[in-house]
């Protein structure tokens, strides 16, 4: 039997050239590099090129990532989203929130049974009085955001950023907040009607903004009350203030 012919080994110069092409041309794939090698009369299989490309860390095209964009523009970015709630009689209710990314402060909250485009547009108007508008507003691809909402955003000078489909992490601040609302509030309450849910969420937003420390803010408050806390190390009686009917408490030093 004839021995199978072995494939010729690549020279160190060819291996070095493949690695150099991969390192200097981050957008090139193995097939693109194979074409360049053929121009130089060097025949190498695509699989072999891929083997030597693996150690090379591939980077994305030039331009900032979504995470970098949010970090650089957090002070100018708001995010909005809906939270569907089912009442005690299995009827749907919809809560709408707008949050400022940098401070994690909840700017606006409202509740409705019929979240039409006109209703959502009105919420944006109420959240931006006296031209107090962000530069960017993140939203998902929900059909509740219609032409009226887009018109209000445009006339207010707000650029709407739509998240990609099935990527809740693109609106992570809102998604985490909605999870907190459920775990810390709604999972412990019976909802009977729209007005009750609105009052409950307004109370939770007040607690969230002015009494609940946030890990993402190094345990600071999004919207601390005007009365500042005593200097560190100051002694005094600690008061426990019930919030949300005693579901949570806010601890303060007595004046």
If DSSP codes are grouped into helix, strand and coil, which group holds residue 204? helix
Q: Say whether both 164 and 209 belong to one domain.
A: yes
Strands 77-86 and 248-253: unpaired
In 97-184, alpha helices (H): 117-127, 147-155, 172-184
Which two three-digit tokens encode residue 134?
């962000």
pTM beyond cutoff 0.75: no
Q: Say whether both 49 and 91 belong to one domain.
A: no
Task: Report d(CA 140, CA 142) in Å as an integer.
Answer: 6
As a whole number of Å, the end-to-end CA separation of the chain is: 98
Q: Say whether both 29 and 135 belong to one domain.
A: no
pLDDT at 72: 80
| Of 129, 84, 106, 112, residue with least CA distance to 202 | 106
Is the model's pLDDT at 182 over the cut of 80? yes
For 101-116, the pLDDT digits (tens) are 999 999 999 999 999 9
If DSSP codes are grouped into helix, strand and coil, which group holds residue 171? helix
Q: Give helix 12-24 / helix 46-53 axis angle, nearest 10°.
A: 70
Q: Say whether both 21 and 96 belong to one domain.
A: no
More confident residue, 238 or 194: 194
Is the model's pLDDT at 140 over the cut of 90? yes
Q: Say whether both 156 and 209 belong to one domain.
A: yes
Q: Give helix 46-53 / helix 30-39 axis angle, nearest 10°.
A: 110
pLDDT at 8: 67
Q: Say whether both 118 and 201 belong to one domain.
A: yes
- Strand segments, DSSP code E, in 122-178 are 136-139, 159-162
């Amino acid at each position: 039997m004839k021995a199978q012919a072995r494939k010729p080994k690549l020279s160190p110069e060819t291996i070095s050239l493949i690695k150099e092409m991969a390192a200097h041309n981050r957008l090139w794939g193995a097939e693109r590099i194979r074409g360049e090698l053929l121009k130089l009369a060097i025949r190498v299989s695509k699989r072999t090129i891929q083997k030597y490309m693996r150690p090379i860390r591939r980077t994305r095209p030039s331009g900032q990532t979504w995470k970098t964009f949010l970090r650089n523009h957090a002070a100018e970015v708001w995010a909005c989203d809906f939270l569907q709630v089912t009442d005690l009689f299995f009827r749907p209710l919809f809560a709408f929130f707008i949050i400022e990314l940098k401070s994690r402060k909840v700017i606006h909250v409202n509740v409705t049974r019929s979240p039409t485009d006109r209703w959502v547009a009105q919420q944006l108007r109420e959240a931006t009085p006296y031209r107090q508008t962000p530069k960017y507003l993140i939203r998902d691809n929900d059909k509740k955001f219609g032409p009226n909402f887009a018109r209000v955003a445009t006339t207010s000078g707000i650029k709407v950023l739509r998240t990609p489909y099935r990527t809740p992490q693109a609106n992570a601040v809102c998604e985490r907040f909605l999870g907190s609302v459920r775990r810390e509030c709604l999972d412990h309450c019976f909802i009977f009607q729209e007005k009750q849910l609105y009052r409950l969420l307004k109370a939770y937003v007040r607690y969230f903004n002015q009494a609940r420390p946030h890990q993402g803010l190094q345990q600071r408050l999004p919207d601390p009350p005007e009365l500042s806390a005593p200097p560190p190390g100051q002694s005094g009686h600690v008061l426990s203030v019930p919030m949300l009917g005693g579901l949570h408490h806010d601890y303060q030093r007595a004046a």
